[in-house]
Amino acid sequence: MRLILFGAPGVGKGTQSKLLVKALGIPQISTGDILRKAVANKTELGNKAKEFMNSGKLVPDTLILEMVKERIQQNDAQKGFILDGFPRTVPQAEGLDSMLAELNTDLDKVIQIGVPTEELLKRLINRRLCKNCGEEYNLIYKPIPESGNCNVCNESEFWHRPDDREEVVSQRNQEYINNTSPLIEFYSKKGKLVKVNGLQGIEDVSKNILNNLR
């Protein structure tokens, strides 16, 4: 199964991808995660991407397409994958179509998770991540445990992504409106788009997604 999880920053693509990985046994491919790792490791890609990311701008399509092409050809992605945070522009979506055609395959579905903008901003600004395992917390909806330790791995340090700061979050949302939202039409014309309400609990959103894949 080859899926795209689609939606504005903060709709829950990462959280839902992780549940789908367990349910479907295919890997999550998050371009944001790959880029953050590259930035942390100070690779050539990371150095090129850092400024764009910290200011909430999209990283240039050519860099992203090269990175995804390499990733989807790895062994674990042969039976399928869940794309999280990619494609984010029409040229990226066209590039993905060509890559998949070259590999004699195609996308199965594009799941669009919808959440109102005001709620998205609240989710992102209050998001905190475990420094060790990346488990997501939220100062409003899912506070860091009273023990001060992550309930998955016991780590005691948490971080606030630099691009989850209020001024950057607005820029990211604007990038979504300008560059990414045209993909809704792109994929509905192809008959691939399925809409899911992201304002429900995490488990309910996941059930809805899985029901749409049957």
| Residues of this chain that bind ligand AMP (CB under 6 A) | 9, 31-32, 35, 52-53, 56-59, 64, 85-86, 88, 92, 163, 172
Q: How far is the CB of 179 from ligand AMP (least distance, A)?
A: 8
Q: What is the DSSP string of 17-34?
A: HHHHHHHH---EEEHHHH
Is-catalytic flag, 161?
yes
CB of 104 to ligand AMP, least distance (A): 24
Amino acid identity for residue 78 in this structure: Q
Nearer to ligand AMP, 45 or 58 (CB): 58
- We find the least distance from the C-beta atom of residue 202 to ligand AMP, in angstroms, to be 18
| Catalytic residue, candidates 131, 161, 192, 207 | 161
Is 127 in the active site?
Answer: yes
Q: What are phi and psi of 145, to 5 degrees?
A: -55, 150
Structure tokens of 137?
Answer: 């917390």
Which one is catalytic: 18, 50, 88, 128? 88
Element (H, E) at 16: helix 13-24
Query: Is 93 or 209 the residue whose CB approaches ligand AMP more closely?
Result: 93
108 Cβ neighbours under 8 A, 6+ residues apart: 1, 2, 3, 80, 192, 213
Report the catalytic residues: 13, 88, 127, 161, 172
